[in-house]
Amino acid sequence: MVDVLVRGDVSAFNSLLDELPEPCATNPSGVGSPPPCPTGVPDGGTINTFRYISCERGYPGEQQREVTERILKQKRKLYAVFQPQPVTLFTLIPKGEYSLIFISETAQGEQLGERYEVRGGRLVGMWLACGPGLDTVRRMAEDVANWIVPPQVALPTPTPIPPTPAAGPDGYPLNRRTGMVPGPDIVLDALESRDPLRIQAHFTFYPIGCVTSPTGFPQPPFCEANQPSGTPVQVFPVLGCEGSFQTREQAIPAARELADTSIRIWAIYQQTPRTPQAVYEFPLGSQVVVLNRPGGFPSGQGLALQVEGGNILSVWFGCGTSAAEMVEDVAASQLLLAPPR
């Protein structure tokens, strides 16, 4: 695998891709959508895909082939090979038995980090830095369990994390990071972009059965005209005073609200994750990013994002709840980023 990447052999690289099943969509809507269904495959049908992430998660097809050809033209050198920790720090791509990190160089002389996930001698996923610079290389190696080939390149001194802002009512600016856990930091990268499509690309959709008549809150999505009751529909939980399950199109306004320029970080904490066991339950992530919206509408209301491995599992827009109230029962030992004092 190392030899193939160093040589930039496109044919050999493509022959090592290990595709995994993924539900497709007949009409993908925006960044982060499921892959398009090939001719003859129905909406929601399973196709084999290869996953990669850069600024967003990607799928195979023409886009992936173009990405592969572009990156393999670049010169690269091996940074490290390691066995990753079994704990999933990101779920945007599958984790391999071994992780390979390279530093590539573009024609313009910019250096980029690349991480490749290898399982059984095959490539199951890749993570390409969203932009130039070597800070991402450090983040790509934060889940090392055992070094196979230790770092071969001395990285420059990292950009220091800005000091905690002075106490105030608003919270931290969106360029603040935990510096410890990649999942929330990946989400904060998306929020800082103020790009609704990029933010929505981190929403995690999961299937629940649609309904043909109202059932009360949380309300599952209504079936389309040609769908029988119980047909699985991909949804994302959005909560306010009540909760709802929103389709990809319905969740666009939530992504737009998260792009509000007044939003600030209030706190980040860790908790025990939970997978829903019933329709009325919502998923809980390993981390929660609590945001404050001092200048938005309604002013001073908190927002909470359930986060798992760089994905947003749900959004709670509060119900007249302030950011401070959202963390008042959180123990100090849970905090990854404490509220401003």
The rounded radius of gyration (Å) of the Cα atoms in the chain is: 21
pLDDT value for 255: 92
Residue, of 32 and 244, whose pLDDT is higher: 244
Name residue 7's beta-bridge partners: none
User: Do residues 174 and 203 touch, judged by C-beta distance below 8 A?
Assistant: no
Percent of the chain with pLDDT over 90: 21
Per-residue pLDDT band for 88 (boundaries 50, 70, 90) equals very low
Report pLDDT digits (tens) over 22-67.
788 776 654 455 677 888 888 888 888 777 777 655 554 445 566 6
Report pLDDT digits (tens) over 136-176.
788 788 778 899 999 988 877 655 555 544 445 688 988 88
Q: How many C-beta atoms surround the C-beta of residue 224 within 10 A?
A: 10
Report pLDDT digits (tens) over 198-233.
888 889 888 888 888 877 777 788 888 888 988 988
In the chain, what are the domains?
2-149 (3.10.450), 182-337 (3.10.450)
What is the pLDDT of the chain when averaged over all its residues?
Answer: 82
pLDDT value for 126: 84
Report pLDDT digits (tens) over 99-122.
999 999 888 888 888 999 999 989
Is-above-0.85 flag for pTM? Answer: no
Q: How far apart are CA 92 and CA 113, in angstroms?
A: 17
Q: How far apart are CA 184 and CA 178, in angstroms?
A: 8
Phi-psi region of 320 (alpha: psi -120 to 50; beta: other; left: phi over 0): left
